[in-house]
Amino acid sequence: MKIYYSIPFLLIVTLQLCTSTFGSLAKPLNLPKKLPAEAFLSFDHYHKTCPDAESIISQKVAAWVKKDPTLAPAIIRLHFHDCTVRGCDASILLNYPRSERAAYASKTLRGFEVIDDIKAELEKRCPKAVSCADILTAATRDATILVGGPFWQVPFGRRDGRISLAKEAEMVPQGHENITALLEFFQARGLDILDLVTLSGAHTIGRSTCHSLMNRLYNFNGTRKPDPSLNFYYLNLLRRRCKGEMDLVYLDAITPRTFDTVYYTNLQRKVGLLSTDQLLFSDARTTQFVEAFATQPFLFESQFAVSMVKLGNVQVLTRPNEGEIRVNCNFVNRV
């Protein structure tokens, strides 16, 4: 297991807290009025209120993934869809008509039962203490380790949102976008071009429905020909596997269950499953990052840890007046 501590993150937070504490004693300084929300996340957030939270979460995730290994990628994808819609606030878990979870774009999301099970256990041990957003964030880190990925430390203190709208979930990229659209989507959430290429590397594990790539196989955007950026043998393999829209194919055809850099070497060989995967190699803005990760596994692993911490901090709710600690991840608390 490889360990990366987010030292830069810690330093920044500590510095900001110091300047604000001492700044208020001294004369008014020209400091920003408000700390960023993520400055209120901390590694010891549950040390008093639920010291075993992290180990309970990791034990539960391990047990579920042992029973069904496909849940590891499912949880990781759930976290991505949570964090990119209204931030990491567990809004994807809210379960009612017209919530994010009910969106068309959320149709193949899975793993909700894992989070529900963890939440039920945590409510027994430390009622109303641990947020659903923190559970999903930690479970994602644990799922990554279970498939052979890197470790990173998760700061805690996310609160759960009360708003969840299907139409916002439809904005999450579906695999047919161009790189400009992906970059804009990421940038709007404080994630940059390196985060885009790095986090796309999560497609080194897991599966997709054929629906998400069908247009590449026979009639690529109206040309009546397959996508020319598909390797000939891979195209034929996919045509055989994809008889129906709901059939499943591996995102990484070569090592589908291992967290490695084969996702990137696949792109160099025109063996990327989604159009958005393959474009990372052909677009001049992202090629260099693909090349770097394809040849330097350690670079990918360490950057993946860094980018995942960033993803987990997107638009978090951390102030007492924002959000709540949900009792059941499926519903907002009753007032």
Ligand X SMILES: *[C@@H]1O[C@H](CO)[C@@H](O)[C@H](O)[C@H]1NC(C)=O
Active site members: 81
Residue of 13, 41, 50, 76 interacting with ligand HEM (CB under 6 A): 76
The distance of Cα 272 from the centroid of its chain, to the nearest Å, equals: 19
Min dist CB 293 to ligand X, Å, is 22
**Quick check: 187 binds ligand X (CB under 6 A)?**
no
- How many angstroms separate the CA atoms of 303 and 290, rounded? 12
Q: 77 is in the binding site of which of ligand X, ligand HEM, none (Cβ under 5 to 8 A by kind)? A: ligand HEM
**Quick check: 180 binds ligand X (CB under 6 A)?**
yes
Each residue 140-179 as x (binds ligand X by CB under 6 A) or -, in order, gives --------------------------------------x-
- Alpha-carbon torsion (3, 54, 201, 70), positive or negative: positive
Q: How many helices (H) and strands (E) does the chain have?
A: 14, 4
| Nearer CB in complex with ligand X: 24/221 | 221
**Quick check: 181 binds ligand X (CB under 6 A)?**
yes
**Quick check: 284 binds ligand X (CB under 6 A)?**
no
Of residues 145-174, those binding ligand HEM (CB under 6 A): 173-174
Which residues does 282 contact at the CB level (< 8 Å), separation at least 6? Answer: 229
Min dist CB 148 to ligand X, Å, is 32
| Nearer CB in complex with ligand HEM: 67/334 | 67
Provide the b/e sequence for 84-108 (b: ≥16 CB within 10 Å): bbbbbbbbbbbbeeebbbbbebbee
137 in a known ligand binding site: no
Beta bridge partners of 249: 208
| Nearer CB in complex with ligand X: 229/302 | 229
Radius of gyration of the chain, Cα coordinates, nearest whole angstrom: 20
Provide the token pair at 18: 């110091």
Under 8 Å between Cβ of 92 and 109: yes
Under 8 Å between Cβ of 124 and 60: no
**Quick check: 221 binds ligand X (CB under 6 A)?**
yes
**Quick check: 199 binds ligand HEM (CB under 6 A)?**
yes
| Nearer CB in complex with ligand HEM: 132/143 | 143
Binding region for ligand X (CB under 6 A):
178, 180-181, 221-222
- The annotated binding site for substrate is made up of 173
